[in-house]
Amino acid sequence: MLGIDIGGTGSRAAVEPLDGAFGEGRVLIDGPPVSVSGDGSSALSVARELIERARGAAAGHAAGAGGAPGATAPRIAAVAIGATGLASLVANPVTSIAALSDAAGGAPVALAIDALTAHLGALGGAPGAVVAVGTGAIALGTDLREIWRRVGGWGHLYDDRGSAAWIGIEGLKAAIMAHDGLDRGASALLSAAESRFGPAPTWPGQLYTRDDRGAVLAGFAADVSGLAELGDAVSVRIMSTAGTLVAETLVAALDPALPRRAAGVGGVFASGKAFTEAFRAAFARLAPDASLVTPAGAPLDGSVRLARLVAIGGVREGHPPFLWR
């Protein structure tokens, strides 16, 4: 089976035997990030590329494990793809499923928004709410049957609160304030931004014209979080605000009909204590009767779980705009 996770700063695929234990014999393949242009998202093109590479990797792995030269490559039993922007930046995801299935040798294919595969990875199929925070930020509260509550994930122009792209934007806003002499306290962020992007007057030309603008902004989040860890006051404020905003998004996804169980996944959760402490404090304040659980796995694990469900007949139909089958 093949699980694929596609995000704003990169993508990964996991090939795994259907008849083994979860995670056993897994082969990982790295891929490119999504870009967004006037034609929409490149997510499905990235997915097709990863499917083709995964088929080759599976064949090579089987041969390396003792398969006879020239033997038939392992058959892909099912493919599940979790991708950012499927619900809003891909005109009609279901129209691409046939081509993706062809690329996978005729295997059944499921497409899911990244929040769903993050949910399956973090809670392993149990009901509750999960927030995924990487380049963007999106939460999903669901029981995977009747309740589907999405919060966030509308893109870095006017949402993705607390995400890496949001942090990068806030860092650049502070740097511009310092450059213009409006906030001398942000001089460290100005220096970091100039080191990464060059002189401030060149920033609009570099950023406004790029298809991967979200990923570039998210890259600057690493500088902001690094300065926060060193105690830079403006950076600490940005990271703490990000943690609070992500907690608000997660709590909003806790539908009253769901168990009060929640988790957070994504790279921003590894960005340092300013973010994580603010996140936990805000969650406890906003949802004192709910529990934060340690995620069972990452979004890629959720894609593999979904592929297994598809392979054994556990997912026979889609549930747009969350899942297309």
CATH assignment, 2-124+297-324: 3.30.420.40
Mean pLDDT within 149-164: 93
DSSP-derived letter for residue 74 is: P
pLDDT tens digit sequence for 97-147: 999 999 999 999 999 999 999 999 999 999 999 999 999 999 999 999 999
- What confidence category does residue 284 fall into, taking pLDDT thresholds of 50, 70 and 90? very high
Encode pLDDT of 286-308 as tens digits: 999 999 999 999 999 999 999 99
Which amino acid, residue 74?
P
pLDDT-based confidence at 191, cuts 50/70/90? very high
pLDDT at 61 over 70: no
Looking at per-residue pLDDT, the higher value among 3 and 35 belongs to 3
- Please report the pLDDT score of residue 297 as a whole number: 96
Q: Dump pLDDT digits (tens) for 249-263.
A: 999 999 999 999 999
Q: Judge if 2-124+297-324 and 127-295 fold alike in CATH terms.
A: yes
Q: Is 300:112 a contact under the CB 8 Å cutoff?
A: no
Residues 6+ apart with CB under 8 A from 152: 131, 136, 137, 138, 139, 159, 160, 161, 249
Task: Compute the residue count for the chain.
Answer: 325
Predicted local confidence at residue 64, as pLDDT: 60
Burial per residue of 174-192, b for 16 or more beta-carbon CB atoms within 10 angstroms, e otherwise:
bbbbbbeeebeebebbbeb
Q: Where are the domains of the chain?
A: 2-124+297-324, 127-295
Whole-number pLDDT of residue 94: 83
CA 9 vs. chain centroid, Å, equals 9
With 70 as the cut, is the pLDDT of residue 65 above it? no
Cα(313)–Cα(78) distance, integer angstroms: 10
pLDDT of residue 62: 58
Taking residues 4-10, what's their average pLDDT? 90
Q: Is 51 within 8 Å of 10 (Cβ atoms)? A: no
Say what the pLDDT of residue 63 is. Answer: 58
**CATH no., domain 127-295:** 3.30.420.40
pLDDT band at 73 (very low <50, low <70, confident <90, very high): low
Q: What is the mean pLDDT of the chain?
A: 92
* Interatomic CA distance for residues 6 and 35, integer angstroms: 11
- Average pLDDT of the segment spanning 19-37: 86
Per-residue pLDDT averaged across 45-56, rounded?
91
How far does Cα 5 stand from its chain's mean position?
7
Dist CA 20 CA 164 (whole Å): 36
Q: Whole-prediction pTM value?
A: 0.91
